[in-house]
Amino acid sequence: MPSPFPDHNKRKPSFMKIAISISGNRLEAPFDPRFGRAAAFCIVDSETNLWTCHENPALSASGGAGVQASQFIGKLGAQVVISGAYGPNAFDTLSPAGIEMYLAPSGETLTAAEVLALFKAGKLSKADTATHAGHHGAAH
């Protein structure tokens, strides 16, 4: 008789979708350290290494780019996002959604593929809090 809980040991998938902020439309595009204002996001499936790129709808937002980009990442199904900085609104949107935030070095010229390799090698630090005060749309 089959178990009534066939997925009991599979609750957390062994693969994940990783979003990387980029300034192009392919995995070899330059990494963009700006989360909310990145031109696009490259979504990589860690199991198959298949990737897709998506223009960031928050790029030209007059305010709230971090929140809009965070919501977009969530809709794309990412469990991890890699960027160079996260404002408080982005952090407060990503964190409750269970999306882990990692920081890639922003002082170097890296491609999304190189950032992905650093992540897979465990060389990126996790952001456990907002990394800057925020920009547009903040109360003055």
Q: What pLDDT is attached to residue 18?
A: 97
Please count the structural domains in the chain.
1
- DSSP code, position 136: T
Question: Per the domain annotation, does 10 fall within a domain?
Answer: no
- Looking at every residue in the chain, the average pLDDT score rounds to 86
User: Within a 13 Å sphere around the CA of 125, how many CA atoms are in the beta-carbon half?
Assistant: 9
Contact 27, 12 (CB under 8 A): no
Range of the domain at 99: 20-126
pLDDT at 107 over 80: no
Confirm if 82 and 127 have CB atoms less than 8 A apart: no
In-domain check, residue 50: yes
Buried b (16+ CB within 10 A) or exposed e, 36-62: bbbbbbbbbebeeeebebbebebeebe
Q: Please state the pTM of the whole predicted model.
A: 0.84
For position 51, which CATH number holds? 3.30.420.130
**Would residue 1 count as lying in a domain?**
no
Residue 46 counted as domain residue:
yes
Per-residue pLDDT at 81 exceeds 80: yes
Of the pLDDT bands very low, low, confident and very high (cuts 50, 70, 90), residue 12 is very low
**Tokens at 75, concatenated:** 């809709």
Q: pLDDT-based confidence at 135, cuts 50/70/90?
A: low
Sign of CA dihedral 129, 90, 115, 107: negative
4 is a domain residue: no
Asked whether the predicted pLDDT for residue 11 surpasses 50, the reply is no
